[in-house]
């Protein structure tokens, strides 16, 4: 089997030296796949993604055990900015946009630091507008005045301007209407299928995520408790109700579905 693009190996992480958030998270993202990271509120999805992008120190957090390797690079020893240059680009939870900048200015910030030429940037901008035509209509509008869906598209568009190889998304569906969520996931899948963009997406909305993902990993209380083929996970009603149903996430059962 080929080496995965991203390998998260038995990672433990804590905030402020004592608040342990991750107790042993492992997952692999293969080149060219959409991988969903699932789990209830507080399961550790955001912490895992921040560990992947080496963003924990900015929140007084740190990886205390295990390791994370992106395309041969130990992410704990690579600055977040260098990780972006290497192609690991994250869209943080809450669709962070610069509210006082226009949509187009937001997109252009994604090209900073790449040292790209004007023509190249113009081409990338046109590409993002092709993916999200709504952004083209709103390009002169301040991001702060845009709808939640448009802001999420702008945040994703900005990440695309950095030319990612692995796009990491934290809860892109949060607070958005179901139709807008579908629209965003459809575009992500198209990018994945047509351009081979690898995607790691954390979601509480497991129904949508499993529908679009190739494989998935489930976290519970800071641990990987399940991983495997998304379709298999989707079809197994017992797992569905156990992990994502009203009873909430499963209670300590470890399972491995044939990947
Ligand atoms: P959510 O969907 O709510 O974002 P999550 O699965 O992403 O949930 P995390 O945000 O990673 O979960 O949180 C995991 C644990 O770490 C939680 O117990 C949370 O309270 C704790 N935590 C998260 N961020 C911090 C922080 N900056 N300082 C201290 N504890 C934190």
Q: Whose CA is nearest to atom 25 of ligand 1?
A: 15
**In the predicted model, is pLDDT for residue 250 greater than 50?**
no
pLDDT of residue 240: 63
Q: How many CB atoms lie within 10 A of CB 254?
A: 10
H helix intervals, 26-147: 45-52, 80-86, 103-109, 118-131, 133-137
The rounded distance, in Å, linking the Cα atoms of 56 and 67 is: 14
CB of 15 sitting under 6 A from ligand 1: yes
Instruction: State mean pLDDT over 83-89.
Output: 95
Q: Hunting for tokens 């399972």 — which residue is that? A: 255
Cα–Cα distance, 71 to 80 (Å, whole number): 15
pLDDT tens for each residue of 46-60: 999 999 999 999 999
> Taking 80 as the threshold, does the pLDDT of residue 254 lie above it?
no
- Cβ neighbour number for residue 200 with a 10 Å cutoff: 26
Q: Is 98 touching ligand 1 by the criterion CB < 6 Å?
A: no
* Burial per residue of 164-198, b for 16 or more beta-carbon CB atoms within 10 angstroms, e otherwise: bbbbbbbbbbeebeeebbebbbebbbebbeeeebb
User: pTM for the full model?
Assistant: 0.91
CB distance 94 to ligand 1 below 6 Å: no
Environment class of 8 (CB within 10 Å of its CB; exposed 0-12, middle 13-18, buried 19+) = buried
Q: How far is the CA of 3 from the centre of ligand 1 (A)?
A: 29
């Amino acid at each position: 089997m080929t080496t995965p693009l991203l390998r998260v190996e038995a990672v433990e992480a804590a905030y402020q030296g004592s608040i342990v958030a991750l107790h042993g998270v492992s997952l692999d993202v293969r080149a060219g796949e959409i991988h969903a990271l699932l789990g209830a509120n507080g399961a550790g999805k955001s912490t895992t993604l921040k560990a992947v992008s080496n963003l924990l120190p900015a929140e007084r957090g740190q990886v205390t055990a295990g390791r994370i390797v992106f395309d041969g690079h130990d992410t704990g020893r690579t600055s977040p900015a260098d990780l972006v240059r290497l192609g690991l680009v994250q869209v943080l939870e809450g669709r962070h946009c610069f509210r006082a900048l226009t949509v187009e200015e937001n997109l252009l910030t994604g090209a900073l630091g790449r040292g790209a030429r004007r023509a190249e940037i113009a081409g990338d901008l046109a590409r993002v507008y092709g993916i999200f035509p709504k952004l083209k209509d709103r390009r002169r509008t301040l991001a702060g005045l845009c709808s939640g869906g448009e802001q999420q598209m702008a945040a994703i568009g900005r990440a695309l301007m950095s030319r990612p190889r692995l796009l990491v998304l934290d809860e892109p569906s949060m607070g958005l209407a179901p139709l807008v969520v579908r629209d965003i996931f459809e575009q992500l899948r198209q990018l994945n299928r047509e351009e081979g963009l690898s995607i790691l997406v954390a979601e509480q909305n497991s129904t949508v995520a499993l529908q679009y993902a190739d494989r998935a990993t489930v976290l519970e209380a800071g641990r990987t408790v399940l991983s495997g083929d998304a379709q298999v996970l989707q079809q197994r009603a017992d797992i569905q109700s156990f992990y994502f149903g009203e009873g909430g996430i499963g209670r300590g059962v470890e399972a491995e579905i044939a990947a």
